[in-house]
């Protein structure tokens, strides 16, 4: 039987590390209303080699503003209101301008609002994260330091950064084992798994020897009713087997977005996370990787600037259309 995390000694003292951390000293600011959670976040950040800067409640963030951001800002906002969202938007812009890394944890109920106001800094969004997921987010920050800054480091500091990243992964793995079943401790240095091949050119020559180009006809999307039937068939497996056994979030999201595009409907980030069939934080990581790979795009709501949706990029839409054309009549029996 899994024991509660609180039953274990999860203190990681920087003095226990076998290498110096002070001279790297990436600054971190932490804002969270829940005192016990804030203490935990401070403990893990210091253990990972970060230098603690501002440390307070979300109210402190609202009243004083994000002064002296440092390199990393951690914010926990499970419940949001207008003032909180406005503060998040401001800190998102400031983090983008300062080159700081922003990590925001929230709830599934507030996800759409939080996602809508974080569009500048490339923030990591965590949904009801475990302690291990928070530590992995710190590891991803270490791994994504700008190359220019890494070049400025001495050889000793480069080695220290590598060791710090490895240490964060070890902490996450230990916390994950203590906390029982949960996410796999992903290597924070892991690059995108997508290597999307470019689609054939959208333009073709009108005829040989003619330099005028004309736009090629785009392949038609499949009937959305067919895609929805395939999605239902895939979901049916969870009634008979463990859901994780067939987890394929990238494909499930591509199917859902293809159907939505054919139906001319918009998909919120919350809805897409549900369609993925994996925990929201995991789904958000996939969405980020697929966006970086050019498969997905973020689309602002023209009627409400605080909201944003996710859609297929044109080349991904064309690829899905060609895929279903290739399948032909066999598509109806796909699972």
311 contacts: CB under 8 Å, gap ≥ 6: 257, 260, 261, 266, 267, 296, 297, 299
Whole-structure pTM value: 0.74
Q: pLDDT class for 18, splitting at 50, 70, 90?
A: very low
Average pLDDT over residues 55-76: 79
> Cα(19)–Cα(326) distance, rounded to whole angstroms?
56
For residue 195, tell me if it sits in a domain: no
Residues 170 and 241 in one domain: no
Q: Model confidence over 133-182: pLDDT tens digits?
A: 888 888 888 777 654 444 455 555 555 555 555 556 556 556 555 554 44
Assign 207 to helix, strand or coil. Answer: coil
Residues 170 and 255 in one domain: no
**CATH number of the domain enclosing 297:** 1.10.10.10
Residues 16 and 150 in one domain: yes
- Decide which of 309 and 147 is more confident: 309
Residues 128 and 230 in one domain: no
* Model pLDDT, residue 106: 97
Contacts 24+ apart (CB under 8 A), 14-22: 14/46, 14/47, 14/49, 17/49, 17/167, 19/160, 19/163, 20/160, 21/49, 21/160, 21/164, 22/51
66-75, 112-121, 171-180, 204-213: segment of lowest average pLDDT: 204-213
Residues 150 and 27 in one domain: yes
Token pair 């992995």: residue: 136
For residue 283, tell me if it sits in a domain: yes
For residue 186, tell me if it sits in a domain: no
Q: Model confidence over 226-281: pLDDT tens digits?
A: 999 999 998 888 888 887 788 899 999 999 999 999 999 999 999 999 999 999 99
Nearest to 165, CA basis, from 147, 138, 185, 134? 138
Domain assignment of residue 164, given as a range: 5-179
| Domain finish residue from 123, 145, 179 | 179
Whether 28 shows a pLDDT value over 60: the answer reads: yes
Nearest to 106, CA basis, from 91, 93, 121, 88? 88
3-7, 111-115, 259-263, 276-280: segment of lowest average pLDDT: 3-7
Whether 8 shows a pLDDT value over 50: the answer reads: no
Q: Domain tally for the chain? A: 2
Whether 88 shows a pLDDT value over 80: the answer reads: yes
For residue 39, tell me if it sits in a domain: yes
**CATH number of the domain enclosing 135:** 3.40.50.2300
Residues 149 and 260 in one domain: no
């Amino acid at each position: 039987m899994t024991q509660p995390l609180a039953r274990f000694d999860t203190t990681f003292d920087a003095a226990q590390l076998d290498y110096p951390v002070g001279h790297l000293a990436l600054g971190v600011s932490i804002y969270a209303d829940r005192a016990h959670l804030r203490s935990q976040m401070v403990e893990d950040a210091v253990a990972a080699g970060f230098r603690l800067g501002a440390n307070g409640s979300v109210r402190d963030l609202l009243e004083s503003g994000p002064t002296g951001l440092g390199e990393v800002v951690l914010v926990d906002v499970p419940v949001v209101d207008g003032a909180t969202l406005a503060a998040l938007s401001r800190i998102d812009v400031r983090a983008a301008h300062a080159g700081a890394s922003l990590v925001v944890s929230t709830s599934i109920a507030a996800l759409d609002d939080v996602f809508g106001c974080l569009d500048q800094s490339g923030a990591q969004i965590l949904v009801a994260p475990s302690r291990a997921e928070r530590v992995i987010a710190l590891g991803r920050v270490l791994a994504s330091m700008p190359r220019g800054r890494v070049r400025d480091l001495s050889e000793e500091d480069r080695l220290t950064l590598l060791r710090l990243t490895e240490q964060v992964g070890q902490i996450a793995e230990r916390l994950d084992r203590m906390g029982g079943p949960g996410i796999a401790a992903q290597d924070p240095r892991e690059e995108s798994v997508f290597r999307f091949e470019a689609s054939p050119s959208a333009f073709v020559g009108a005829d040989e020897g003619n330099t005028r180009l004309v736009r090629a006809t785009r392949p038609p999307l499949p009937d959305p009713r067919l895609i929805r039937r395939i999605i239902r068939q895939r979901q049916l497996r969870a009634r008979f087997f463990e859901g994780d056994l067939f987890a394929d979030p990238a494909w499930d999201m591509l199917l859902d977005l293809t159907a939505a595009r054919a139906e001319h409907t918009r998909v919120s980030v919350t809805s897409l996370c549900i369609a993925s069939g994996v925990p929201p934080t995991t789904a958000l990581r996939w969405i980020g990787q697929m966006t970086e790979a050019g498969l997905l795009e973020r689309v602002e709501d023209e009627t409400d600037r605080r909201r944003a949706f996710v859609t297929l990029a044109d080349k991904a839409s064309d690829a899905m259309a060609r895929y279903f054309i290739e399948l032909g009549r066999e598509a109806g029996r796909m699972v």
